[in-house]
Structure 1
């Protein structure tokens, strides 16, 4: 399904189109009643002690600086995650660094945590009208040239926790050299312990890559449980390449969108098995319909997130997913979404 603005936006380079989209969402958020999440009784759920009005969230990356929080909630999302924010402003990698793979309904990016910095992002959160019925996540990372990346994450969690409903530690991006090394062993244990020490009562989510091997998944699961992580997001973009058709398929960077779905489904199952159901899971990657969201929930996810599908399906996608998800739950006799979670695992 397409949307009215797509032909115009697709004549522009992807990053320019993205900037225009953020501008439009900022304006939408200023309209009366604009910052309301879509509240559906059957879809309301509690995760990590937080009451989500619905399980469909926006993944980090679209609104890196928290400029359009209210406009994004106006699309119906039950949660919006801004960022990734780094302590210092960061330009990111050279352009071009964002590519549409239209034939594959996919995106490749090598953005490199471009953002205006933690202080600017936090100021935008403070200026937001606030969030209607939705929950706000703040996703934090480390600067590319940081000499102490753990200290960068601690700074991010410290600044974000008083304002966020949850904070996400993002160690899953493939576009910051060495960042994914934090997903393993002593480095991960040190990071989680340091962040847990400063988060206060704010839930801490951990975002991991879909490219982890079984040993890596087991290590993440143990560390997350041991250090009191409240949920795991699975996952980010992939550096693997399933069969693709578009001309830009050989660009380096992380792949997202429809071709990621199969890998993301498998990793969700792998992490659920590794955690034994001890932690809530958030599914991301290739979610573009109510049917796919329902499949992830039945496979064990408590929440889902999307981003790249919006490029192709437009701003009406969250509402369509919620409508269809509600109908699927009713069809199968589930009075609440919580009853469906993990029923196909």
Structure 2
């Protein structure tokens, strides 16, 4: 009930600075044990041998550096995905690079994998309480001479600390990154990452692959075939889009970068349906994009998703959204 007042204050602050303030507040709250955290009914879901307390997750890109994992889990998320993390620290693209489209309940970002590096985040995760599932989303440095090697390194390092590892080859904000969704590079990437996720005890950390919503159906078919052939455990459908619906009203709609939030809903639904058809039920799906209510989350689950993830809707519906969705699931 208090969020509209908080939102009004946050919306007066430059978007990236407001985001940083939010992360710091949640890190502090989680660090002291998250007093007054909501109690939620159990909706356990099993995927890749992991039991998720509920199917509502925090998408990568929110807590890039794993600073507030305990705070986000205490909000009611069944799982949190941190990152995208690169082998070396990276400043990302020049600011401004994050834009609110208030009239559209949307966000455009061109962050460019800004993060403090894999090692710093893994150190934070090693001391977090982690009352839930934590995934680690990895990427390649922009100036890397061998991006596939970056991914293999990231998977190997993250496998020892995360409950699962996601390969992110779908961001539109690193030039050429989405080329890795095509063969033969995709096959080479998945071969290296499949080998890299093996742990010292001989087990394999679950490996997820995140794709773009701008993939045509034939490319989705090829990605799915490669993912199944290389033992990927789940497909995350999908990242932000470089398309712009004609319905956008905000003056920031023309900014370059990836669009997320409510205007992505129809495209995200369509790509989930295409991925479901392509997999034939052989590969679990995680749906992302435009999910802002229990009804929408349930619709994605009914359409074939095993889990869902939130991001931009938190900005417009408040930090209690995950708990409200979890309570509203059938």
Question: What's the TM-score bracket when you normalise by the shorter of the two chains?
Answer: over 0.9
Q: How does 1:261-340 map to 2 (within 5 A)?
A: 261-325=265-329, 329=330
TM-score (norm 1): 0.91
1:189 to 187, 197, 203: 187
In the alignment, the residues of structure 2 paired with residue 172 and residue 38 of structure 1 have an alpha-carbon distance, to the nearest angstrom, of 35
For the 8 Å contact 1:173–1:236, the answer to whether it is kept is: yes
Secondary structure at the counterpart of residue 4 of structure 2: coil
CA shift, 1:121, in A, is 1.0
CA shift, 1:36, in A, is 7.7
Q: Could you say which residue in structure 2 is the equivalent of 1:25?
A: 26
Q: Could you say which residue in structure 2 is the equivalent of 1:155?
A: 153
In the alignment, the residues of structure 1 paired with residue 122 and residue 262 of structure 2 have an alpha-carbon distance, to the nearest angstrom, of 32
TM-score (norm 2): 0.96
For the 8 Å contact 2:38–2:323, the answer to whether it is kept is: no
Q: Could you say which residue in structure 1 is the equivalent of 2:235?
A: 232
Superposed CA offset, 1:7-30 (max 9, x none): 110000100000100110011102
Secondary structure at the counterpart of residue 51 of structure 2: strand
For the 8 Å contact 2:287–2:309, the answer to whether it is kept is: yes
Superposed CA offset, 1:18-67 (max 9, x none): 010011001110223569896533x2110111101100000000100001
CA shift, 1:3, in A, is 3.3
Query: How many residues are treated as equivalent by the alignment?
Result: 323
Matched, 1:7 2:5: no
Gaps of 5+ in 2: 199-203
Q: How does 1:1-345 map to 2 (within 5 A)?
A: 2-32=3-33, 40-41=41-42, 43-128=43-128, 130-132=129-131, 134-200=132-198, 201-243=204-246, 244-325=248-329, 329=330
For the 8 Å contact 2:84–2:139, the answer to whether it is kept is: yes
| Inter-CA distance 252–236: structure 2 relative to 1 (3 Å threshold) | same
Secondary structure at the counterpart of residue 197 of structure 2: coil
For the 8 Å contact 1:37–1:53, the answer to whether it is kept is: no
CA shift, 1:5, in A, is 1.1
In the alignment, the residues of structure 2 paired with residue 77 and residue 32 of structure 1 have an alpha-carbon distance, to the nearest angstrom, of 16
Higher alpha-carbon deviation: 238-247 or 27-36: 27-36
| Inter-CA distance 187–54: structure 2 relative to 1 (3 Å threshold) | same
For the 8 Å contact 1:111–1:175, the answer to whether it is kept is: yes
| Inter-CA distance 157–237: structure 2 relative to 1 (3 Å threshold) | same
| Inter-CA distance 34–86: structure 2 relative to 1 (3 Å threshold) | farther
Taking only aligned residues, the RMSD between alpha carbons, in angstroms, comes to: 1.4
Secondary structure at the counterpart of residue 194 of structure 1: helix
In the alignment, the residues of structure 1 paired with residue 226 and residue 36 of structure 2 have an alpha-carbon distance, to the nearest angstrom, of 36
For the 8 Å contact 2:40–2:323, the answer to whether it is kept is: no
For the 8 Å contact 1:232–1:280, the answer to whether it is kept is: yes
